[in-house]
Amino acid sequence: MAVPMFNLAPQLSVSRLCFGTMTFGEQNSISQSFRLLDQASNAGINFFDSAEMYPVPQRSQTQGRSEDYLGRWIRDRKISRDRVVLATKVSGPSGQMTWIRGGPECLDATNITDAIDNSLLRLQTDYIDLYQIHWPDRHVPMFGETDYDPTRQFCSISIEEQLDALGSAVSAGKIRYAGLSNETPYGVMKFVQAAERDPCHPKIISVQNSYNLLCRTFDSGMAECCHHERIALLAYSPLAMGILSGKYFLPDGGPGDARLNIFRGRYSEGESRYNLSNKIIKAATVEYLDIANKFGLHPVSLAIAFVLRHPLVGSVIFGATKSWQLQEILDACKVNLAPELIEEINKVHSKYPNPCP
- 54 is annotated as an active-site residue: yes
The residue among 40, 37, 103 whose CA lies nearest residue 72 is 37
State the catalytic residue, choosing from 54, 69, 131, 211.
Answer: 54
Distance CA 335, CA 298 (A): 10
- Annotated catalytic residues are 54
